A and B are shown apart, each in its own frame.
Chain A
């Protein structure tokens, strides 16, 4: 297969836009605007999981997984994130006069796209008879393990819409084995640190 490809650049062959993101189903979504040169009709997409990016010749070897998108059909591509984090190497291509295919030497490379960990957090309220208090138990679970979970998640106590206090969590307090007593008008809300929004998703 490699011998069928040449390496070369087309004039006005640059993409006019290239963006990527992860959706909430842990898919990577790549979107672009095709170049001015209408001869550029192909987009080769190579998933990659290492830090160092090899030359394009490497990706054209038989062993490498690839997806090919044609200009007439789409200018976007969605692919499941099979690893915790992945990069995507995208190279444009065009047909030569002899019907062979030339691939652009300098591909477009995304940053790391992370698979989000879904955190499910609940506060379970248990009333106490004849009491203005109720007992609260916290239960937090994550779709995957991450050492950051305790750092990114906190809970806060609200009373009449006003935050009364904010508290950190650890593995023990997230296990459901910990509780405390709150007044009935007080409620618990979980808070995800925005800085880690690209790694975690909170469902509470």
Chain B
């Protein structure tokens, strides 16, 4: 925005601390053609001259040439403000030489109503000084209080914003007004004519800005990511099959050559014994000992998966669902373990039947030629070999069951741990909920749904990115690094999502996209803001409040104007700038005589006069 008239902002004494905040607010509203001069309360003429000259050269350098200048002076309600008369006179002398058409002067006094009692002495002196100046010089004096009429604390940023908006409105040209707005241009005199005032021209002002609450939206998006997949969407990479467990390999069975070295007693193989009885008679318990001593295959002890490695690549909520007692993984693992138990039972029964039966000596008695005339019946060793094979199989099934039962227990313990992680997520979401509650305040009820839908669109277009982030969350939860992930999540939301086109819309576009009547929404908001007002501790009544609304679009603004004025908000002036990213409302309330600003009563007057608000 380009103003025709250059403006110099003076900050005197304690107000120099306010200066950076003011500069920032002016930049927010795109005010250029401004210069800034900071002066200590004990300034000298030479100092002031040097500063004025500096600013003038800067104006010339940037191509600003005008016959008239606006000078805005900022002071605090303390003793450093008492140097203001000297500052003003010296400045006017310097300006007269440079700007022959004159200087339009406004004074802004920041008053500390929070520490009313502490500042009483210096405040009275400052108001007396200003009152004398106003009567003699006639320029506008604005009081910017740090308390609203609801006794809510208003920050210095608010005061700077108000000053910036006042400057903005005073410098609007017709091209910036909403088309078909009132023909009369906003100016102080018009305002004052429409106010029921006493004599004196101290004005109070406040402002609010409706802009997109990025931090709140970021909190909402972060919540959506934390909940991503909890309603069955998820990564889509659901494993239908439980990952296979790792069983230890079967133990090796001794060869017949080895078995032929076992010492056995002589026996008549025609004896009617069962296989079990033969084994007992020939080998005693030595075969069991041989089975127990058979080499343990490598990696037999390493079959237990650590929880950190279980089910990699799955979304947290998928994991939570599938590992729960009703989940696919738990059920499948239990079924596997039960099936293995059933198989073991079958094999055990089969083994018992084999042991309890008599051997078929015809088919179970291989022989070995020891010499041309001597043959050895290898029935005992064939029996031992078959026995050992069966024992190894039983042993394998037993170990398999242990692995499968361990898997069921692991899934159960893993699920419990995930549930605790879920509590951690809930706590984080609760903290985010407090932040994004602001969305409903700034916009209206239902605004959260709008932003949730926006995120859903973003997630659909960037599915792999969101899936990857959710997997990172799952990994972080597994490894107890959730706090690190939260930092990463906030960075991701800010850099990747909030900067995406669908979230970078100006507030007016957002209001339109919400599907409601944007004008109604802004009108509601304006009505709401109108109640904020500023503190009126002067005892004045019958004050007329004027509101100026700064909206990005003329059409919306006209509707808002109609709604608000129909609802008795009073006069609503509109200013539009299609590049604006915010909707701002500036409120003026009343004009006061300096004598009404003496907050404290003297001993003779008794108690404080107090507030008599409209």
Contact = CB atoms under 8 A, between A and B. Distances in A.
Given A167-B286, A170-B286, A180 B372 contact: no
A48 B49 CA distance: 115
B199 to A, nearest CB: 112
A138 B261 CA distance: 12
B290 A168 contact: yes
A178 B261 CA distance: 11
B263 A173 contact: yes
A182 B258 CA distance: 11
A74 B370 CA distance: 64
Nearest to A180: B263
Contacts of A137: 263
A130 B264 contact: no
Contacts of A129: 371
Interface of A: 128-131, 133, 136-138, 155, 157, 164-165, 167-173, 177-182
29 contacts: A128-B370, A128-B371, A129-B371, A130-B371, A130-B373, A133-B371, A136-B263, A137-B263, A157-B261, A164-B257, A165-B258, A165-B261, A167-B263, A167-B286, A167-B290, A168-B290, A169-B286, A171-B284, A172-B265, A173-B286, A177-B265, A177-B266, A178-B263, A178-B265, A180-B260, A180-B262, A181-B260, A181-B370, A181-B376
Contacts of B370: 128, 131, 133, 181
Most chain A CB atoms below 10 A, which of B261, B293, B373:
B261
A164 to B, nearest CB: 7
Nearest to B262: A167
B423 interface: no
Contacts, number: 62
Secondary structure type dominating chain B contacts: mixed
A128 B374 CA distance: 9
B285 interface: yes
Contacts of B254: 165
B286 A130 contact: no
A167 B285 contact: no
Most chain B CB atoms below 10 A, which of A157, A173, A177:
A173
B567 interface: no
A131 B371 contact: yes
Contacts of A164: 257-258, 261
Contact of A168 (B257, B286, B373, B376): B286
A86 to B, nearest CB: 33
A119 B140 CA distance: 122
Contacts of A182: 261
A176 to B, nearest CB: 10
B284 A172 contact: yes
A182 to B, nearest CB: 7
B374 to A, nearest CB: 6
Nearest to A130: B371
A-B interface, 5 closest residue pairs, ranked by CB to CB distance from nearest: A131-B371, A178-B263, A170-B284, A130-B371, A173-B263
Interface string B353-379: 000000000000000101111101000
